[in-house]
Amino acid sequence: MSDDSKIERHTIAVLVDNEAGVLARVIGLFSGRGYNIESLTVAEVDQAEHTSRITVVTAGTPMVIEQIKAQLERLVPVHKVVDLTAETKAVEREMALIKVAGAGEKRVEALRLSDAFRARVIDTTHSSFVFEVTGAPDKIDAFIGLMRPLGLVDVSRTGVVAIARGAEAM
C-alpha cells in the first residue's frame, strides 16, 4: 500500500463565525461527500468577535484530508482551518462519563483501576459507580475496555478537544 492510499487520522480545528447554520454547513460538507466524522466538538471561543471553534477528528488518505481542508476553507463563515495533526504539535484531550454496575470483587477492582487511570468517582450507589475520566482518547478507550468485564453499563464521551502547543494562536 503506497503512502498516498494510507488512511490517516487527523484532528482539524476550524475557526468560524458563531451564527445559526454554520455547524450544519460544516457537517453537510462532510456528509455530502461521504467523509466520516469520528469526533466533533464546538464552542464559542471569543464572545466579542462572535467566533466559535469546531474541532473535527476524521480519517482519510492524505489526498482526502487535503480536499477536506480546502473545502472547509472555501465555506463563507470559516476564518481559519488548521490541521493540528500535520501542521503543528498539539495537545488532545477528551472527557468521558462511564457507568459501571457490580458488587463484591468486581466493584473493588473497578475502584482500583479507576485510581490507576486517575478517574474520579462522581456518583455512587450501592450497586454502581459513575466515573469521570479525562485524557487522550487512547487512555479513555483503554479504561472502557478494562471496565467491560467489570460491569460496564453506559458511556458518554465529549469528543476530542485539541490545541496547538506553543505561544501562537490558532
Q: What is the tens place of the pLDDT at every residue in 94-116?
A: 999 999 999 999 999 999 999 99
Residue type, 153: V
**Mean pLDDT value across residues 48-75:** 95
Q: Sign of torsion, CA 57 59 62 68?
A: negative
Is the pLDDT at 157 greater than 70? The verdict is: yes
**Model confidence at 3, in pLDDT bands (50, 70, 90)?**
low
Is the pLDDT at 136 greater than 90? The verdict is: yes
> How much is the pLDDT for 99?
98
Residue with cell 469546531: 54
Please, which residues bridge with residue 17 across strands?
51
Cα separation, 123 vs 44, whole angstroms:
29
